[in-house]
Amino acid sequence: MTASQDTQENTLSLPVLAAGALGVVFGDIGTSPLYTLKTVLSLSGEGPTPEVILGLLSLLFWTMVMITSVKYALFAMRIDNHGEGGILALMSLLVRKDKRRPLVLFAGLFGAALIYGDGAITPAISVLSALEGLTIILPESQPWILPGAVVILLALFAIQPLGTAKIGKVFGPIMALWFAVIAGLGIWGIVQHPAVLVALNPMYGIDFLFSNGIVSFLVLGGVFLCVTGAEALYADMGHFGKKPIWLAWFAIVFPSLLLNYAGQAALLLSGADVTQNIFFRLCPPVLQIPLVILATLATIIASQAIISGAFSMTRQAIQLGWLPRLRVKQTTEESYGQIYIGAINWLLMVVTIFLAVFFKSSDKLAAAYGIAVSLTMIMTSGLLYVAMHEVWRWNRLTSLLIAGVFFVIDLCFLVANMSKVFEGGYMPLILALVVYGVMLLWHRGVEAASRAVHEKFISVDDFLAMLEEKAIPRVPGTAVFLTREKEGTPPVMQWQVKRNGSLHGHVLSLTIAIDNVPRINADERLTVTQLAPGFWHALAVYGFMERPNIPALLRYPQLDNCELDTEDVTYYLGHENIIPREGSGGLPAWQRVIFSWMARNGMHVTDYYYLPSDRVVEIGRRIPV
């Protein structure tokens, strides 16, 4: 655990952090009882027998045990990248020493792209499933369910620019109430048919799998819905730390989910009508309207957590160089994790509302749900194998046996979910492929542009010799030249001298580098080297959870001896115009056009690095790629 997490857990008590995790980490998996058993029953056929009901409950229980409790809580969360978790953080940890690992990069990037597919479906299916509870109380409300869901989703995305710092404080208490209510409803159901608890015996699930033919196989796709939010335990580890998430899961969330699923199954054993949502049938009629309201609030919180997670993952991808710079708005000074990215918010809103309108009900949306998550989990299992061997130093056989068990389980769920592809499962897959393609194209374009710039490499000694030979004057003032190159003369400096015929008396060549760790200690951030009188080079290293601030960087003590006038600095940037590369080796025309469009429409360097716009000079340059 990192020092920051230690401090956080010492400052705030473990129960307080665990309560906060209820609202951020467990919203998705916590609202799965709204639709999971209903979906499983529809896949298993009408009129399930007691053996089938007990078999389904057993599968739900042991799926949560093996995937959420064992794979994610007990294994994945022990492999962190300086306290940060999630598939991108794990990928970064494994490629830190060697970035040329195509399989590791593919698993991490495609797994991250798949999470966007999940992020678009989760709000739609959650809000629809909550509002559908009204049809039990007021059957005539059916035509208003979809419009109501659209209005709620529009409002949810519309408030994102305001930030969630204030309303986020009530997330934990509402979700705590939610888990208490679903646990209580579950207990009420179990009391009516206590024999349902025999389903904790895994043999009931195994018997079901081997005695119902193709039905058993298809049912696994529905069973998987009970763990669709498991990835959040790992991804949000950096916000709360391991212990609070463990406490919340094992003490509150897991028991509440188990009790509720058992209560629903007990009601079925008692002869309840399987054509209606069994979750809401658990509730006494007089309390059903309050339950619908609470369920709607819980699904909104679950959706908010998914949206916030998409923002955080996007920032990681930007910092690691896999997405173009997008405008990231910090919505509160108290928490670095409270951010807003407009482009991602509005794209998610369009896709989410389209999915809700296209599928019209949670039953049909369930057909599209699960494929993206199961693929992400397979990618995570593959990365866990590499981490067990390289980070924990386990031998290959042990790593293969343990990660292989997770991989086989994930593969079974994936194959079962593949039957949903033509029923709507293609939607999140298409979205993931688009995001993955954008990542690859952007990264490839940046590498091509860097190679083109490096081809005009001039050493500092040769550049200074040229200045003396041509008697280029050094004029008063301080200039900072931003460059990707860690060695040699910044290309923008060369162009500035050619155009203006002079160079400032005090010059700093600055390179910003992003390391594959979340954060860099302040005393390790900046390395300054004097290359010649009045000429320094600085390498500033940031983690993928940090955003560089160049004016603040210039106040670091390492620059005290550089005689830089920080109150009168001119920043020189290169404005890149992408052009076709002559001969072979360039990007295909369609890739170059898309890369050029992304480069033009990304967040401006001035804003991204917090540079004062009235002190920035941009010099155009043509970059053949």
Q: Which phi and psi (to 5°) does residue 516 adopt?
A: -85, 40
pLDDT in tens, 229-277: 888 888 888 778 889 999 999 999 999 999 999 999 999 998 877 677 7
| Predicted confidence band of residue 11 (pLDDT cuts 50, 70, 90) | very low
Closest CA to 546 of 347, 343, 360, 319: 319
Three-class HEC string of 282-324: CCCHHHHHHHHHHHHHHHHHHHHHHHHHHHHHHHHHHHCCCCC
Residue 587 has what pLDDT? 84
Q: Are 254 and 39 in contact (CB under 8 A)?
A: no
Token digits of residue 218: 């298809």
Distance, in Å, from the CA atom of 56 to the CA atom of 206, rounded to the nearest integer, reads 10
Q: Are 252 and 175 in contact (CB under 8 A)?
A: no
Write the CATH number of the domain with boundaries 14-445. Answer: 1.20.1740.10
Q: Where are the domains of the chain?
A: 14-445, 460-624
Q: Are 17 and 348 in contact (CB under 8 A)?
A: no
pLDDT at 386 over 50: yes
Closest CA to 70 of 375, 370, 406, 389: 406
Q: Are 518 and 544 in contact (CB under 8 A)?
A: yes
Residue 215: enclosing H or E segment and its boundaries?
helix 214-223
Distance, in Å, from the CA atom of 260 to the CA atom of 189, rounded to the nearest integer, reads 8
Residue 1 has what pLDDT? 41
Between the two ends of the chain, the Cα-to-Cα distance in Å is 43
pLDDT in tens, 199-237: 999 999 999 988 877 888 888 888 999 998 888 888 888
- DSSP, collapsed to helix, strand or coil, labels residue 486 as coil
pLDDT in tens, 426-453: 888 899 999 999 999 999 998 888 888 7
pLDDT in tens, 135-186: 888 888 888 999 999 999 999 899 888 776 666 677 889 999 999 999 999 9
Summarize the confidence of residues 334-361 as an average pLDDT: 85
pLDDT at 280 over 80: yes
Q: Which residues contact 548 (CB under 8 A, 6 or more apart)?
A: 512, 540, 542, 608, 609
Residue 12 has what pLDDT? 55
- DSSP, collapsed to helix, strand or coil, labels residue 617 as strand
- Cα 194 from chain centroid? 40
pTM, two decimal places:
0.84
Distance, in Å, from the CA atom of 415 to the CA atom of 40, rounded to the nearest integer, reads 16
pLDDT at 454 over 80: no
- Cα 160 from chain centroid? 17
Residue 2 has what pLDDT? 43
Distance, in Å, from the CA atom of 295 to the CA atom of 289, rounded to the nearest integer, reads 10
Q: Which phi and psi (to 5°) does residue 503 adopt?
A: -145, 140
* Mean of the per-residue pLDDT values of the chain: 86
Torsion (CA) 308, 309, 312, 313 in degrees, nearest 10: -150
Residues listed for the chain: 625
Residue 73 has what pLDDT? 93
Q: Specify the residue for token string 């027998």.
A: 49
